[in-house]
Each structure stands twice: as structure tokens, then as C-alpha cells.
Structure 1
């Protein structure tokens, strides 16, 4: 009667709630102390509610204790346990639930093999004695939080032809919810009706919020509402950048909320400030150096050399010959050109004689040369006899010093000129008693001397040529006459003359020729 009363009271008090049968969860494991034939423990949670022997889990005979255990895999909030015990029928000859007398129901966080009854939590003890029978279907209130539900007995029924304690459980249902359900309320699928307690999520509130979630997470997807200090991300599994001040960052993007450590900038403080920032600090958003730059550096971020320095570390000075002494940050070439008097990329070449400076690329003078020089770079000297310099392109003298004339003023005026001569022609005004103002007058004695020598030489050549022709003609005539009238001259003399043409041509004019001898005879 007590059991029936409890069952009725339980049913009245829980009219609108429904709970999950935890015994049917995929994670639940059923075991029993022994097994009789093929009646293993899994027959007690297959959903078949028939109570005849073939549909029931059954322990083996001959043992003084029998137990049956339900393991959920983790603790759950248990509301009640419903047991279907073996009963073959209602006839007097049918097998009844004799072996069900004096069983007890415990819950525990440890398995039956590791605990005694004193170490478990007792939910119910049956006190039925022979000849009375307990109900073969019984629902027992057991509002506990536990991982294991244990049914155990030491009763040896007097009606039994087999000796020992037996359990014949045809179905065992454990109703409850996840311990993480708010109000311990769930539906028949185990879904928490009123949501999850803090720190859990999922329909059954069995999933634990990420460890770095602050207080709670979204109950449908487990995303953290807030992270503990030092973490960010949907599940707070990302470390805040170590350069964040206070190790605090935005939950969604990891941006440093309180600023950056000295020397860093950027949303996540993952960019280094320029080493050339004065004080080593820069603005978080753009890296600008608010206190300016250390020596030789410039720019908002102190990322380049100032105008007068270049090279690695900005340690080299631009040439003083650069305009405003400014040059390229890297190469040192003058960026604004050269000061007057210098040329080249680095303005290290000197314009030699340029009055107005020279072109940077070529070094050629822009304007006139200094007096006394000419050429594209005014590198050549005008003639020393030029007066007031010479033409830049040709070197022709502008004027000559007194007594000189010609393009280069390298010709001397006649000594008979009164005061110099014409710059181009050399003509001049003669001194008194001079015959000509022609500048060639001074050279007449030399001219006539050369002319006399040339004329004398020409006359001698004509005379010698004429004599030779006449001499040859007389020789032929002499040969013809000698053949008939005259005894030939000694051949020695003739041959000597014939053989020595040089002597013949010179004529030995001081002696009588062979022709003269013939004439005398």
C-alpha cells in the first residue's frame, strides 16, 4: 500500500512535466552481476515492456547476491525510476514476481563493484515478505544527481526451486534531466525546457562552455559572451597579443583595448614603432612619432633620413655642394641640383672657368667663360696675345694686344707700322720714309735673295742642258769625219770620256775638249 501511495502522490505532483528516459540514451550502459543463458542486461532497455522470461534480463542462480546497474556515463538529475519485473500471468500456476521481494534501489557516482551499500544513496527498499508480493511494475521517486542507478537483492524466495538471489528485470526506465537544466526541467528528449545553468550549453545542457568564457556562453552554439582576461575569439581560445597593455583585448577581433606596450602600435599592437622615434613611443593607430625623431631622421614615422643625411642609419652627410645640402636618402645624389661651380650626381666635380656655372649632367658651361679661356667647359686657354679674351666656341681672339694681328693674334705687325696694325689684315699706317704700309715690306730682302738663288739655279740648268745637246751632235759629226780623213784619236782618251758620263756632263771645262782638238787640226 505504501508503494502505491507514493506512486499516486508522485503522479499527482508531476502532472505537467515530462522527462527523458535516461536509460535509453546512447551513452548509457547496462550491466548485471551474472547472466542466465541468453538473458543479458540489454534486454532491460530495448523498449519492449513484455514481462515474460524471454524478454527479461536474468541473473544466474547459485549466488547469494544479484545486482543490476545503469551507467549514464556522467551524472544526471534523476527524478524517478520505473522497473518492470518478471510476471508470466495472473493464473495461480503462472510464475509471479517472487524473487522481487526485499530488493533495494541505490544511486552512486561510483560503480557497484567499487562501493558498498553504505557508500551509496538509498532511494528505496522493498520490505515485502512471503506470501505477499510487491507490484511487478513500480515507479519509485528518486530525486538525486548521480551517474549510476543500482538495483540489488540478497533475497532467496521460498517458492524458488533454484537456490540463491535473482533479479529478473524486463525493462528499467530512469527519468530525469541533465543536471545542468535550469529547474531540473526537460522534455522527453532530454532537452532542457528552461535553458541551461551557467557554464553549459546545448539542448540537453551537457556541453560545457569553453574554459575561458567569462560567466556564460550562448546556449545554442556555445559562443562565449565575454572572455576572461588574456583571451579572445568565439570560444575564447585565442590569446590576446602580448603587446596589449593590461593583456586585455577585444573579444571579437583581438584588438588591444587599453593601448600598446612601449614600442608597438596597430589594432593588435603587432607592428613595431620606428627605432628612430624619440622616447620610443608612437601613436597606436598610425605609428606616428608624437615626440619627433632622434638625430638625422625625419618623417611622421621617422622612417627616412632628414634632408641633409643619407645611407644606412642616416649616418652620412649630403655634399655641401648640393643645393640646400639636400640629397637622396639612399644614394646621396643631390636632389635639387648643385650650387654654382659644381656638377655631377653628387656635385663633386668643379666647373673650371664658367662664369655662370655649368650644366649638372655634362659640366658644360651655361654662359660665357672667364677671360682668357674658351671651350664647352672653358677648359682651354686663349692665346696670350688675345686682348679681353676670346670666342667661347672657336677661341678666336676678340682683340689683339698691340703689335699683333690674326685670329689667334699670333702674327706680328710690321716694324714700320706707326701704332699697330689692322686686326684682320695686318695693314697699318707706315712710319715716315717707309714705302709701303703693306705688312709684307719687312720681308722683301729675304724674298729677293731667294728669288736670285732660284733664277740662277734655273739658268744653270738650261745652260747645262743646251751644252749637252750640242755636245752630242758634234760627237756624231766627229765620228763620221774621222772615218775618212783623220786618224782616230787614242781610244783611251775617248773611252775614258764616254765611260765617265759624270765627268763628261761636268765637262771638265778647264781642259780642251775632243771637239776643240779637232777644230785646231
Structure 2
């Protein structure tokens, strides 16, 4: 007879897990009216009498379309398997036993709240008939939870023919086997769950974590987030850490700061207008062509520099000898080699000898020489042409009108003329 009563949904292996439901608080929806069939009967440890009057079974009210019973394990614990002993009336179990139809269609949930909808479905009977359902059934439910909930209903409009008209829970014993501490696993519950398991919970057989703490991944949560990710489930993407470094796998911060042009605790924001460089610590030059508008990484001014300032950062005036937009122009021949104005290119003290104009880059016109070309060449110079810098004549006319190719200055000519006059006055 016993062989007809028991069906195991697990392999036939000896387990040393503890019945963590024993003597715990139990509750049922709409109990039968007499006190002797209370919800606690299903967790009292007695399973020798499966009749209504044996005092070992819980029975729900008649004529109900839903039946609910649950046990509170007192804490979120690791569960390995569940064994249910159903009411038989102490009669042979089988299709002729009237209680088989009441057992059909039941479900078992594991939840952290009293609401089954908040939990996970451990088992739902949708295959048994009154010929095949066992009176004692063991279910594999490797999960964590505080409440184990038995549920049955007859609310569907298409109930299978073997099912009873009303829903019942007639549990003579409901055993939940697992570890009494949520952070241990193994057949004797002696092994600690890995340190990085979320809430210190792991699979009661393998030790694999049900979830990882922030920043970890892998079956046993022993691997920090990689490939530029961080956070819960390594689902967050790191910002732009300097040199492409991996951010801190837990909170996403960058150990050595942000890449140039980026700032913020997670290096995910571009520099605001007017700033650039590592952690946006540098200011764009006020001498950018567009005021304080530069590349957030390099500081190079967009559109070049204001007049008189040297690219690419526009934070230095033009070098000596250059002026204008991006210092692209060269100064003329300023007096004594002085530098011109970096903006206008004008020479502050005029031009060097032989040159004229605002920028001192124009040679003296015909017959002029000297600083700013203000002096005229001597009349004795052939065609009044002289050296623009010194005023010396390339060719002069002698006293009889012949051309001499002497390179003489105006002063030298003056001396010659004076000597000629003196000789003519004092011939002896």
C-alpha cells in the first residue's frame, strides 16, 4: 500500500536537509469550522493518521472555489525540496478514493511576502488525473523565500472532468526541506555562500549565487565587472576615464580622473562652454576669435585667434616680427629693427632708413632716401637717383659734365664743390 501512496519528483537520493517548516506559524484561508483542523496541523510533525478525526490534518471549509494555506519560515531561507502528505481518510489511495479529485490542480509558490503573486511558482499540477496523482509527493523547489504557499482553485470555466467541484486544502503534513541559515548550502548546510552573493543567498546544491552584489558577475559572483561596465549585473556603462581605463566596478567612478574634455564623478559630461582639458580644469582663451570658444580636449580655438594673438591656443601675443590674424603677417622695416604693433602692424617709431608707409614695407620713391624717405637725393646724382638707405649716388656729374661712376655721398660732393670754388678764387 505504501508504494501506492508515495511518488517522488526527485531522484532517490538520501538528503540531510532539515525540515525548516516544522512547528513554524501556518495560516489558511477559510478554515473548517472546528478548531481541531487548524492550519498548524500540517507542520506539527505527525503523519501517522490521514483521516479527518486523527487530529493531524488541516481541512478548509466546504463549498469554496479557492483554497489557500501557507507556512511562515520566519526568515528568507534556502529551500531544496518540499514533501506534501495529502488526506487519504486512511483508505487505499487511487481513483476510487474521493480525496484524489480534491488534490488535483494544486500549486506551490515560494514568496518573500504573504502574496503568492510576489513569489515564484514552484509547481503547478496540470498533468495528473485521479489515476496518477500520488497521496505523497516530493517537489524540487531549489529557491529562497520566507513563505511557502499551497494554492488550489476551481474558478475556471473549463475544469477537467476528474477535478472536484470545489477547492480544498486537506494537508496532513507539509514539509519544507532546506538550510536553517540563508547563507549556507550543501547537503549538510555547512558551506558558506560566496561572499559576493546578493543578500548572501546561493543555490542550496551548487552554491551559485541567485544574484550578485553591486559590481560583480559570474555564477559565484567572484568576477568584478569588466569591459567598461559597472553596477548591478554589470549593466551600467563606464564614462570616459583617462587613457580608456576601466572605471571602478562598483560605483563607476574613475580612479585617475576623466579623459580630456570630460568631467563629473562618472566622467560622463562634456566640459561646459569656455573650459577644456583634463577634468575641464583649463579655461579657453579670451583671445579666441569666438570669445572663449575652444576644443574641449585640446583648447584649440575654433575659428582661430583674435588679431594679434598666436595660434593654436591664442594665449600668447604674436612673436616679434609678426602681426595680424593668427600672426600670419610679417612686420615691415621698423626703425632700428623694432617690432611692429601686433594688431595693426604699424611701426611705433617710424620706418628704418629707406622705407616708408604704415607698415614700413614700401621702398622709398625715386629721388628720396633716409628714415621714412623724408630726404631728397642730391642734384649732382645722375637723374637724382641715390641709395634709398644712405643717400649715396651711384653716378655723379663732374665739372665738365662727364659721368663718373663713383659711388660718392652727398657730403663728398659738397666737399668737392667747395674745393673747386676755393681754387678758382685763389688760383695761386
TM-score when normalising by structure 2: 0.37
In our comparison, the structure showing a higher alpha carbon Rg is: 1
| RCO comparison, higher one (Cα < 8 Å, 6+) | 2
- Structure number with the higher strand fraction is 2
